[in-house]
Amino acid sequence: MDDAGVDSVGCLAHTLQLSVKAGLQSQRALDDAVAVCRKIATHFRHSTLAKERLADIQRTISDDKPHMILQDVQTRWNSTFYMVQRLIEQKKAVIAYSAEHDLPC
């Protein structure tokens, strides 16, 4: 980089992470929706009983193998994307679970 006359180049992945995080936080409704998704994912991550009940519901709804609800990692924007994507994929099962049990939010 010194030979090219460039003092410093920031990490592209880190810059992208900061940009996406700032973009998500700039939209209040989107930030609130992600916070709700995060609370739901945390509920299933911390409760073995909830995880098992959700898997039972998933088996009754679909013949496919049950999928865990993913928890995002604050420093990786793509993990937030995958968490929301999985919740959308498992929407019917999560709604069925919430009819029987209290979910945060």
Q: Transcribe 60-99 into DSSP letters.
A: HH-SSPP-PPPPP-TT-HHHHHHHHHHHHHTHHHHHHHHH
Structural domain for 95, as ranges: 12-100
Asked whether residue 16 is domain-assigned, the answer is: yes
Q: DSSP assignment, residue 4?
A: T
Asked whether residue 91 is domain-assigned, the answer is: yes
Asked whether residue 105 is domain-assigned, the answer is: no
Q: Is the pTM of this model over 0.75?
A: yes
Asked whether residue 1 is domain-assigned, the answer is: no
Per-residue pLDDT in tens (0 to 9) along the chain, 105 residues: 567 776 666 777 788 888 888 988 899 999 999 999 999 999 999 999 999 999 999 999 987 889 999 999 988 888 999 999 999 999 999 999 999 998 877
Please tell me the total count of domains within the chain: 1
Asked whether residue 5 is domain-assigned, the answer is: no
Asked whether residue 64 is domain-assigned, the answer is: yes
Q: What is the dihedral of CA 57, 62, 66, 70, to 10 degrees?
A: -80
